[in-house]
Amino acid sequence: MPELPELEALRIRLGPRLAGRLVTAAQVNPRLAHLLRYPPESFASELPFRRATAIWRRGKHLITEFALGGGGDPRHLVVNPMLGGRFQLADADSRPPAHWVFELRLEGGEALRYLDRATMGRVYWTAEIVRDVPGWSELGPEADAVAEMGLDAFRRRFRRYRDELKDLLRNQAFLAGIGNAYSDEILFEARLLPLRRRASVRPEEEETLYLTIPPVLQAAVAAILANPDYDPAKQDRSFMKVHGRGGQTCPRCGHRISQLGSGRGPGREPFNFCRGCQH
């Protein structure tokens, strides 16, 4: 599932290639039209002749702003990729994969496609994000910008919850952008067990967590951008230290990395940690 680092890296790479470009045509795959939270025929007719004016990210959503000539009638294309959503910028004449959801043909002969093999993503075409995107107003601060709130504000926010640490980090109302994979990495770097209750965390551990979150996410963005062969469809996370490494040796203490979760059903994704150095 794409999380903050994958979407932030995508924004950095895709933004300059989309900025200012005109949409000449739009299509929706009728087999996957149900992923659009908007009438497909209106989506296909309203996007042409608009220019991409900005691309930005909020939590696990990627947002592209489009406007008519002169900047009028601004609209937002909001995509939450969920489990299997990916973007593709390709030659407009190339054949799209079978699981394409929509295609925007751009001036210059390219097409921006949204693909979703798992058919779980959510696509919104709206002038009012807060009104039309469920849960938008409940999103917490951006996880990679925790330092901007300051330690005292982080402590107050952190202490509102009673969750286990793993669940708390994945709670988008607490901080936006962290999911299963990066919560593993953050808790590993902070040396905290994922199943600990929030109430058991000592003040000095709160500070460690506060100081750990942004660097882990920023390092992941840098690792993705530094890989010239990075394929969003395959989502290479080989740079991770514990996530996806159940049964392997901990790079910090040499203990065996544990894995919990069946991976069967929503909310049951396998997660990893080290019992040797996470306390």
Q: Tell me if residue 48 falls in helix, strand or coil.
A: coil
Q: Is the dihedral of CA 121, 222, 173, 182 positive or negative?
A: positive
State how far Cα 172 lies from the chain centre: 11
The Cα diameter of the chain in Å comes to 60
Asked if CATH classification 1.10.8.50 holds for the domain at 143-274, the reply, yes or no, is yes
Residue 268 among the catalytic residues: no
**How many other C-beta atoms are found inside a 10 Å radius of the C-beta of residue 20?**
10
Pairwise pLDDT comparison (81 vs 69), residue with the higher score: 81
Rounded CA-CA distance 144/216 in Å is: 9
Mean pLDDT across 171-199: 97
Asked if CATH classification 3.20.190.10 holds for the domain at 4-138, the reply, yes or no, is yes
Residue 60 among the catalytic residues: yes
Is 43 in contact with 75 (CB distance < 8 Å)?
Answer: no
In this predicted structure, the answer to whether residue 131 has a pLDDT above a threshold of 80 is yes
Q: How far is CA 149 from each of CA 143, 145, 158, 203, 270, rounded to the nearest angstrom?
A: 10, 8, 12, 17, 31
Six token digits for residue 50: 């608009």
**In the chain, beta strands by DSSP E:** 23-28, 51-58, 61-67, 75-80, 85-91, 100-106, 110-116, 122-126, 257-260, 271-274
In this predicted structure, the answer to whether residue 265 has a pLDDT above a threshold of 70 is no
In this structure, the strands spanning 100-106 and 110-116 are antiparallel
Q: Per the residue annotation, which of 51, 60, 86, 245 is the catalytic one?
A: 60
Q: Per the residue annotation, which of 202, 228, 264, 266 is the catalytic one?
A: 264
Domain boundaries, the chain: 4-138, 143-274
Name the β-bridge partners of 52.
66
CA neighbours within 13 Å on the CB side: how many for 237?
20
State pLDDT tens for residues 32-71: 999 999 999 999 999 999 999 999 999 999 999 999 988 8
Residue 3 among the catalytic residues: yes
pLDDT for the residue 268: 65
State pLDDT tens for residues 192-230: 999 999 999 999 999 999 999 999 999 999 999 999 888
Tell me the average pLDDT of the chain. Answer: 94
Is 253 in contact with 276 (CB distance < 8 Å)?
Answer: yes
Strand order in the sheet with 100-106: 23-28, 100-106, 110-116, 85-91
pTM score: 0.94
